[in-house]
Amino acid sequence: AENLNFAYGYPSTSAIGLAVDDYAAAVKDRSNGEISVKGFAMSLLSLPETSPGVRDGLADVGFVLTPYYAAEYSTNLYLHEMNLLISLAQTPTGKEPLAFTGAMLEYTFNKCPECLAEFKAQNQVYTGGGVTPLYNLLCKDVKATTVEDLKGKRLRAGGAGFVRFAEHFGAQGVRLPTNEVYEALDQGILDCAMLSAPELTNYNLHEVVTDITLGVPGGAFAGVAAANVNADRWKAMSVDSREALLWGGSQMTASTTWNFYTDDAVAIQNSKDKGIKIHDPEPELTAAVQAFVKQDLKTVAALFRDTYGVARAEEIAADFPPLLEKWYGLVEGVDSKEQLQALYWDQVISKIDPATYAQ
């Protein structure tokens, strides 16, 4: 029997905490009770500590965010930067994050030896990913639905890409940790925060937000390795146990992404019920955002090639969009977490050979 500790830097009731519960059940079931997984919410490793913590064995499995370690995970991070493509979807259905997760999973496992090498160098084995819902503008006392509206506004920006977005539209990108957004909006330091809708609930932002503009700036957070396993632990396991962890990886990926996807719908409905005004962007703003995205994808490719050492940046930029298109088709009929898990397993993870993977 094996006992694995799973560290994740989120509350146990969050989308991720619930996904870890699913992971533990899936792994136990698949291994015929041989492997038990115990979740540690925030107490064992904080978000930035999770990657080195799994590396050194403080946890056996961890929910790793690659953007904390740009130098170590530059290629993985570049795949995450492809998330802007979501904003270019011809006929948006809301399921774009589900498709992006699949595309990223497939690309990482099958077409990105550099990505797997980056995890190997950190003594970790990648078994799954996950993607948040679309980013929106969560504003206080500000309606931002046109290009003109954005001028001079102060927008909370989680990363460098969002700062470029803000500056492109004549706004100011303010870097603030998510847990300071509440007070910053309340005090008028920020006009809007660029965050996904579930953060309205997670950080109680619905208490201060008055207006939401959906799908601007768009894009999603995809810099996630949702169930990285300590490589020493992995190598010491039987082939059957490894297969069970890969199965768990497909569950973790599906649960994380699905929980976020459903949280998104719930959070937006709750906001409506609380009297928060929900806006769609004017067509001219949507068009301007798409123009920015096209330009920014080029900027990002050049940055990663020249500054962050991703030699294949242009090649990846060319390979990725067709793969994403394929996944838009694959997720069309998906209506449940179970279907999503089956899809990720059948299409990608079942084809990984547990005997030879990550040796």
Partner 1 sequence: MRFLFEQPLNATILYVSAFYMVAIAFLPLGLVEEKNSHIAVELLVERFPGRVQKLLLICATLITAVVTAAVAVRTGQEALAKYATGAYSIEAGGKVITWPTYFVLPVGFGLMSVVSALKFVALATGKDSGLNSLNIEDPYLPKDTPNV
Partner 2 sequence: MSELQIAGLFIGALFFLILMRIPIGVSLIAVSFGGLWSMFNWNIAWGSLGIVPYNFANSWVLSSIPAFLLMGFICYHTRLTQGLFSAAQVWLSGLPGGLAIASVFGCAGFAAVTGSSVACSAAMGKIAVPEMMRHRYSAELATGTVAAAGTIGALIPPSILMILYGIISRQSVSQLFLGGLVVGLMTLIAYILLILVRVKLNPELAPPVDIKATRSEKIRALGQTWPVLLIVIGVFAGLFGGAFTPTEAGAIGAMLSALVAALYGTLSFRALRMAIVETLTTTASLLIIAVGASLLTRFLALSGIGDALSSSILAFGMSPVLIMVGVVLVYLLLGMMLEPVGAMLLTLPIVLPLVDETGYSLLWFGVVLVKLLEIGMITPPMGMNVFVIKGVVGNMASLTTIFRGVFWFVVVDLLIIALLIAFPEIVLFLPNLYGM
Contacts of residue 327, Cβ cutoff 8 Å, sequence gap at least 6: 98, 99, 100, 102, 103, 106
CB 189 → partner 1: shortest distance, Å? Answer: 7
Segment contacting partner 1 by CB under 8 A, of 20-28, 69-77, 235-243, 247-255: 69-77
Cβ nearer to partner 1, comparing 170 with 322: 170
CB 44 → partner 1: shortest distance, Å? Answer: 19
What's the token pair of residue 90?
């011809």
DSSP 3-state of 112: coil
CB 219 → partner 1: shortest distance, Å? Answer: 15
Cβ nearer to partner 2, comparing 60 with 149: 60
Longest CA span, the chain? 62
Binding status of residue 77 toward partner 1 by CB under 8 A: yes
CB 201 → partner 2: shortest distance, Å? Answer: 7
Cβ nearer to partner 1, comparing 17 with 159: 159
Which 140-179 positions form the footprint of partner 1 (CB under 8 A)? Answer: 157, 159-160, 163-164, 166-167, 172-177
Residue in the block written with tokens 């490894």:
242
- Distance between CA atoms of 336 and 294, rounded to whole angstroms? 32
Binding test (CB under 8 A) with partner 1, winner from 11, 36, 46, 70: 70
The residue type at 193: A
Kind of pairing between the strands at 2-8 and 61-65: parallel
Q: How many CB atoms are located within 10 Å of the residue 179 CB? A: 9
# of chain residues touching partner 1 (CB under 8 A): 24
CB 55 → partner 2: shortest distance, Å? Answer: 7
Contacts of residue 217, Cβ cutoff 8 Å, sequence gap at least 6: 87, 135, 137, 162, 165, 194, 289
Which 275-314 positions form the footprint of partner 1 (CB under 8 A)? Answer: 303, 307-308
- Contact of residue 45 among partner 1, partner 2, none (CB under 5-8 Å per partner type): partner 2
Cβ nearer to partner 2, comparing 75 with 123: 123
Question: Cis omega (within 30 of 0) on the bond before 52?
Answer: no
Residue in the block written with tokens 């492997």:
35
Q: Enumerate binding residues for partner 2 (CB under 8 A).
A: 5, 11-13, 40-46, 48-49, 52-53, 55-58, 176-177, 179-180, 182-184, 187-189, 201-204, 207
CA-based torsion, 165, 301, 84, 113: positive or negative = negative
- Distance between CA atoms of 64 and 226, rounded to whole angstroms? 6
- Contact of residue 152 among partner 2, partner 1, none (CB under 5-8 Å per partner type): none
Which 243-272 positions form the footprint of partner 1 (CB under 8 A)? Answer: none
Phi/psi for 11 (5° steps) reads -60, 155
DSSP state of 154: E
User: Which residues contact partner 1 (rule: CB under 8 A)?
Assistant: 52, 67, 69-72, 77, 157, 159-160, 163-164, 166-167, 172-177, 189, 303, 307-308
